[in-house]
Amino acid sequence: MPQPNELEMENNTTKVTMFVLLGFPMGHKAEILLSAILLAMYILTLTGNLVILGIVPTNRQLHTPMYYFLCNLSVLDIFFTSVIIPQFISNLLSGNKTISFAGCMTQSYIYFFLGTVEYFLLTSMSYDRYTAICNPLRYHTLMNGWVCTQMVLGCWMGGFLSVLFPTILISRLPYCQSNVIDHFFCDSGPLLELSCSDTRMIELMDFLLSSIVILCSLVLTIISYAYIISTILRIPTSMGQRKAFNTCASHLTIISISCGITIFIYVTPSQKGTLGLQKIPAVLTTIVCPFLNPFIFTLRNDTVTGALKQCFVQLKDVVVHRVLQCQRGSAALRKALHGKL
């Protein structure tokens, strides 16, 4: 139920100043266990993506459009998980599940903004793979630095603008029924459920935008991979086919998982009838997928794996060199002291 300090009465209507994120109702011990798991996944997600951001600029083999898009995806995953997981962990550990109205709207906007950018980036990566495999002789002309920069800027600007207007509309709705959100973050469906006004127009707008972004990304990716697979099957050697498939496998895996889950959650005319079923799929999109992304891209990619091994060898050489320097310095210091004595 709404708390007195979380609601204000203005002109016989109720103005919500705070929301309560219900999350997953469970005992305190289960909440501590869940927060520990989330913290471990969050640290690994940050580490995996920071490793990608560290090795790509320093390895000349990875200075290609594919890894330029991958770096942007890593930055996006860091922001994406940072918007959701720290707040979720704080709510679990403190027992205080409230979030301010402004904080809730900001979280909702950033979540959908980054989610939209991710689909645009994944679609751009599918075009990059199509160009690399189907037009290899023109690849560096078609995907030069200026083109890649424009594509990435278009992805970020498209995501920024496409969800701005719906978020403004949701933030202006009157919330007079309750301030308890049956979710672990400020998703649009639970927010619309709390409004006491007619939200059918906003629901339709959300449905249309989600359908355009997700389904168009999926269709364009399917078309790209239809051409890619057709081209790969014409490669005469099995080794060449395997190498071409390996460059696409990680990207295809991620977009298949993301599209499958997100279509279930958001590509519906109204989310109100399925709110109770959306928490687990939302965990997959907000926490599990960003956690898996860097591992899928590194473990299934021979070039990245080779770059990682090279970095570890170089790091080992540096550590061994420093240790030897310290040992020599200690020996020289002991010799000098012994000579004085």
Check residues 79 and 17 and name the one with the higher pLDDT: 79
Give me the percent of the chain exceeding a pLDDT of 90.
28
- Where does the pLDDT of residue 124 fall: very low under 50, low under 70, confident under 90, or very high at 90 and above? very high
Upper half-sphere CA count for residue 23 (Cβ side, 13 Å): 25
Tell me how many degrees the CA angle 294-40-281 measures, rounded to the nearest 5.
70
Does the residue 10 lie in any domain? no
pTM value is 0.82
Could you tell me how far CA 271 lies from the centroid of its own chain? 22
Does the residue 107 lie in any domain? yes
Contacts of 192 (CB under 8 A, 6+ apart): 170, 173, 199, 202, 203, 271, 272
- CA separation, residue 245 to residues 231, 249, 272, 335 (Å): 11, 6, 41, 61
Q: Which of 196, 215, 197, 218 is nearest to 268 (CA)?
A: 215
> Which H or E run contains 21?
strand 18-21
Does the residue 7 lie in any domain? no
The predicted-structure confidence for 189-245, as pLDDT tens digits, reads as follows 888 888 888 888 888 888 888 888 888 888 998 899 899 888 888 888 887 777 777
Place of tokens 């580490």: 47
Does the residue 5 lie in any domain? no
Task: State the total domains in the chain.
Answer: 1
Does the residue 311 lie in any domain? yes
Upper half-sphere CA count for residue 153 (Cβ side, 13 Å): 6
For the cut 50, the answer to whether the pLDDT of residue 11 exceeds it is no
Q: Which CATH number covers residue 208?
A: 1.20.1070.10
Average pLDDT over the chain, rounded to an integer = 83
Does the residue 207 lie in any domain? yes
Question: What range does the domain containing 116 cover?
Answer: 18-326
Does the residue 54 lie in any domain? yes
The predicted-structure confidence for 85-99, as pLDDT tens digits, reads as follows 999 999 888 888 899
Judged by DSSP in three states, 33 sits in helix
Q: Which two tokens stand for residue 114?
A: 């980054």
- Where does the pLDDT of residue 270 fall: very low under 50, low under 70, confident under 90, or very high at 90 and above? low
Does the residue 6 lie in any domain? no
